[in-house]
Amino acid sequence: MTFPDRAQPRRSLPYLVGMTSLMFGANFAWVSYNSILLLPLVQRVLPADRSSLAVGVVAFAGNMLGIVTSLLAGTLSDHSTSRLGKRTPSLLLGSLVGLPVIALAAVSRLSFPVIIASYVGMHLLTNVANGAWWPLLVDLVPEDQRGLASGLQGFQMVLASAFSFVFITYLNEINRPDLALVRMAVVFTMTGLACAATIRRDDRPASVSGALPLGEAVARAFLVQTRVPVVF
């Protein structure tokens, strides 16, 4: 019987900061879009008496899709046999595709469908990366450093929230939501790439053979495990 946690090397502080940097970029995008930009953008393209309801519906749909996507991305990454590793493919997919999708509402003619595509796409792609990120705390961090890694992750999220309320609010106030969207997209992509670069030598492919079918991934993602085995 093997004990993978004991075999993991201790991680340096720069390693843990780089690994958790994705949480800064993802939360920067979430807070900026959800709390600051979505309503003003919708108000630009819809009458005032319809904008609040539209924002509620779009926000609900985007957040629900994000929750489901995070579950599926994590489950599918458990079975990734890519040469890049288990988690890196999802990190790269979410980060790289997220750049043009989030920025879509800044570079296209603004309309309600464009806002929906950009906003819902933000939730989809940040959670593709985010769902694959959470297992890294177990995959790559020794047990006696997981509290530190989790604390750094929380710090990155709080810091991102502060930055978003200061800088994104300012850009929105000076009527430059386009610059805000581009900066959100760039920050998310850069932090995702930083995370992937940090773990590139340690992220190993899954040992299972073959990718997990989507239907089975859905079943596993929503399976409630009533008995958790304990390894002694």
Q: What are the residue boundaries of the structural domains of the chain, listed by start?
A: 13-205
pTM: 0.86
- What is the structure's pLDDT at 220? 55
- The pLDDT tens digits for 63-87 are 999 999 999 999 999 988 899 999 9
- What is the structure's pLDDT at 192? 97
Judged against a pLDDT cut of 90, whether residue 229 lies above it is answered with: no
- The pLDDT tens digits for 82-138 are 999 999 999 999 999 999 999 999 999 999 999 999 999 999 999 999 999 999 999
- What is the structure's pLDDT at 213? 56
Judged against a pLDDT cut of 50, whether residue 146 lies above it is answered with: yes
Task: State the sign of the Cα–Cα–Cα–Cα dihedral 17, 172, 178, 111.
Answer: positive
- The encoded tokens of residue 187 equal 């920050």
As a whole number of angstroms, the distance between CA 98 and CA 196 comes to: 15
- The pLDDT tens digits for 172-193 are 999 999 999 999 999 999 999 9
Judged against a pLDDT cut of 60, whether residue 5 lies above it is answered with: no
> What superfamily would CATH give domain 13-205?
MFS general substrate transporter like domains (1.20.1250.20)
Q: Please name which of 177, 43, 35, 31 lies closest in space to residue 104, comparing C-alpha atoms.
A: 177
Least confident interval from 58-62, 104-108, 224-228: 224-228
Judged against a pLDDT cut of 50, whether residue 48 lies above it is answered with: yes
- The encoded tokens of residue 23 equal 């949480």
- The pLDDT tens digits for 6-26 are 467 899 999 999 999 999 999
Q: Please name which of 57, 73, 65, 99 lies closest in space to residue 185, comparing C-alpha atoms.
A: 99
Q: Please name which of 119, 110, 122 lies closest in space to residue 58, comparing C-alpha atoms.
A: 119
Of the chain, the percentage scoring pLDDT greater than 70 comes to: 86
As a whole number of angstroms, the distance between CA 70 and CA 133 comes to: 10
- The pLDDT tens digits for 195-216 are 999 999 999 998 765 555 555 5
- What is the structure's pLDDT at 206? 85
As a whole number of angstroms, the distance between CA 204 and CA 227 comes to: 28
DSSP string, the chain: ---HHHHSPPPPHHHHHHHHHHHHHHHHHHHIIIIIIHHHHHHHHS-HHHHHHHHHHHHHHHHHHHHHHHHHHHHHHTT---TT-SSHHHHHHHHHHHHHHHTHHHHS---HHHHHHHHHHHHHHHHHHHHHHTTHHHHTS-GGGHHHHHHHHHHHHHHHHHHIIIIIHHHHHTT-HHHHHHHHHHHHHHHHHHHHHHHTTT----SSSSPPPHHHHHHHHT---S------
Least confident interval from 117-126, 163-172, 213-222: 213-222
Q: Is the CB of residue 98 less than 8 Å from the CB of residue 189? A: yes
